[in-house]
Homo-oligomer: A and B are copies of this chain.
Amino acid sequence: MIVNGRSLRPLVSAPDMMSIDIIDQRLLPHRLQLARLATAAEVFTAIRDMWLRGAPLIGAAAAFGVALAMREDSRDAALDRAVATLAEARPTAVNLAWALRRMHDRLEGLAPGLRASAAWREAEALAEEDVAINAAIGGHGLAIFRELLARKPAGQPLKVLTHCNAGWLATVDWGTATAPIYQAHAAGLPVEVWVDETRPRNQGASLTAWELAQAGVPHRVIADNAGGHLMQHGEVDVVIVGCDRVTARGDVCNKIGTYLKALAAHDNGVPFYVAMPTPTLDRSLHDGLREIPIEERSAREVTHIAGLSAQGDVVEVRLTPEASGAANPAFDVTPARLVTALITEHGVVPATAEGIARLPQATAP
């Protein structure tokens, strides 16, 4: 993607294989600042504390984390330790486990002396595959968008609602849910995006809105409460979201609040698509509601919020009474019955056990 006129990715690996540069997403949309991560411990902190987030980007960053660990110590115990530690950074995103397993599988059979450079190459390959996956998702989603547009009166824009940030910033490039939006915009199709602000961390208001503004895609931020009303009044043609984990029968774990939008889409006959790179598929799980562990994050994400003051400083303020506690489940599960289809890099499949069984296994080395 182009940011301030130059090409940028949210994760850029250094040519000397000693570090990666990432966009510190905690500072967006108010400040664009890169952070250099040179050790596995720094990568762990960056994932845990959400300097970067988004299931695909977490997976790629963790792969580089293993590679950086191998530069320090490439013995078997160190490899096992790096993989085990990085896996703890975020509990929900299956890409993290997938990327670490792939790194482990690739490296365990190699002599320790060969591991550091092989790990780096594998992490780079994984990152490039993510870009290719998202570009393919964009193509398949674009075909759906074209079809939906064809049903509207000529000249009217396609109104897309998205939740959270399954955008360029959540991946190595393109985004998942945003890939069809960017491809449609690039193809000159009229698209307008409703951006759920996505409380409590406001990834929509701060990240998706920022991305879309950089790309010049028309969009408006809305409170998470507003989407149902907009759908009732014909203001949403299609919902598209990303995912953190999808089960073998098509239940979708994604950012908290996704389920409410899926219910509203279902109630109003609005198609509800999930952009799903196959590494996000977890074939070991079936009933998403019962089987997917949901991360409970700090109450402070609900009780406090940061923003830009009139003086231009990023200031954190408290929103709730001092005496009031808060709860903060970070994800929810949308049952497969509410999902119109999954848009994968291999094409569009129904969110059913049969549809998912048709997909090839995600590539292993």
Kindly identify which residue among B228, B318, B321 contacts A332, using a CB–CB cutoff of 8 Å.
B228
Kindly identify which residue among B221, B232, B257, B310 contacts A316, using a CB–CB cutoff of 8 Å.
B310
Q: Name A196's closest neighbour in chain B (CB-CB).
A: B225
**Would B195 and A324 count as touching, CB distance under 8 A?**
yes
Question: Residue A320 at the B interface, CB < 8 A?
Answer: yes
**Would B302 and A304 count as touching, CB distance under 8 A?**
no
Can you list 18 A-B pairs with a CB-CB distance of less than 8 A? A29-B324, A195-B324, A197-B319, A197-B320, A205-B324, A210-B324, A213-B324, A220-B327, A224-B225, A225-B332, A226-B257, A228-B263, A228-B332, A305-B307, A307-B317, A307-B318, A309-B315, A315-B317
**Residues of the B chain whose Cβ atoms lie less than 8 Å from the Cβ of A30:** 318
Q: Name A314's closest neighbour in chain B (CB-CB).
A: B317
- Least CB distance, A163 to chain B, in whole angstroms: 8
**Would A232 and B307 count as touching, CB distance under 8 A?**
no
Q: How far is it, in angstroms, between the C-alpha of A302 and the C-alpha of B307 when the chains are bound?
A: 12
**Contact status of A319 and B305, CB under 8 A, knowing A195-B324, A264-B259:** yes
Question: Residue A118 at the B interface, CB < 8 A?
Answer: no
Q: Name A333's closest neighbour in chain B (CB-CB).
A: B232
Q: How far is it, in angstroms, between the C-alpha of A255 and the C-alpha of B224 when the chains are bound?
A: 12
Question: Residue A326 at the B interface, CB < 8 A?
Answer: yes
Q: How far is it, in angstroms, between the C-alpha of A213 and the C-alpha of B326 when the chains are bound?
A: 12
**Residues of the B chain whose Cβ atoms lie less than 8 Å from the Cβ of A219:** 324-325
**Residues of the B chain whose Cβ atoms lie less than 8 Å from the Cβ of A304:** 307
Which residues of chain A from 245 to 287 have a CB within 8 Å of any chain B CB? 255-257, 259-261, 263-264, 267
**Would A264 and B257 count as touching, CB distance under 8 A?**
no
**Contact status of A320 and B260, CB under 8 A, knowing A226-B328, A228-B332, A302-B221:** no
Determine the interface band of chain A, counting residues with CB < 8 A from chain B: 35 or more
**Contact status of A327 and B226, CB under 8 A, knowing A221-B302, A321-B29, A321-B209:** yes
Kindly identify which residue among B194, B257, B259, B318 contacts A223, using a CB–CB cutoff of 8 Å.
B257
Contact with B along A209-252 (1 / 0, CB 8 A): 11011000001111111111110110000000000000000000
**Residues of the B chain whose Cβ atoms lie less than 8 Å from the Cβ of A289:** 232-233
**Would A220 and B264 count as touching, CB distance under 8 A?**
no
- Least CB distance, A82 to chain B, in whole angstroms: 33
**Contact status of A232 and B332, CB under 8 A, knowing A302-B221, A307-B304:** yes
Q: How far is it, in angstroms, between the C-alpha of A19 and the C-alpha of B320 when the chains are bound?
A: 31
**Residues of the B chain whose Cβ atoms lie less than 8 Å from the Cβ of A261:** 260
**Contact status of A325 and B259, CB under 8 A, knowing A307-B305, A307-B317, A317-B315:** no
**Contact status of A318 and B324, CB under 8 A, knowing A222-B302, A225-B198, A260-B264:** no
Question: Residue A26 at the B interface, CB < 8 A?
Answer: no
**Would A267 and B263 count as touching, CB distance under 8 A?**
yes
Inter-chain pairs besides A197-B199, A229-B332, 17 sampled, C-beta below 8 Å: A29-B321, A194-B327, A197-B302, A198-B225, A202-B319, A220-B325, A221-B327, A222-B302, A223-B224, A223-B256, A225-B255, A226-B328, A227-B260, A229-B256, A230-B327, A305-B317, A309-B316
Question: Residue A323 at the B interface, CB < 8 A?
Answer: yes
**Would B302 and A306 count as touching, CB distance under 8 A?**
no
**Contact status of A199 and B224, CB under 8 A, knowing A260-B263, A324-B209:** yes
**Residues of the B chain whose Cβ atoms lie less than 8 Å from the Cβ of A157:** none
Question: Residue A200 at the B interface, CB < 8 A?
Answer: yes
**Residues of the B chain whose Cβ atoms lie less than 8 Å from the Cβ of A326:** 220-222
**Would B225 and A256 count as touching, CB distance under 8 A?**
yes
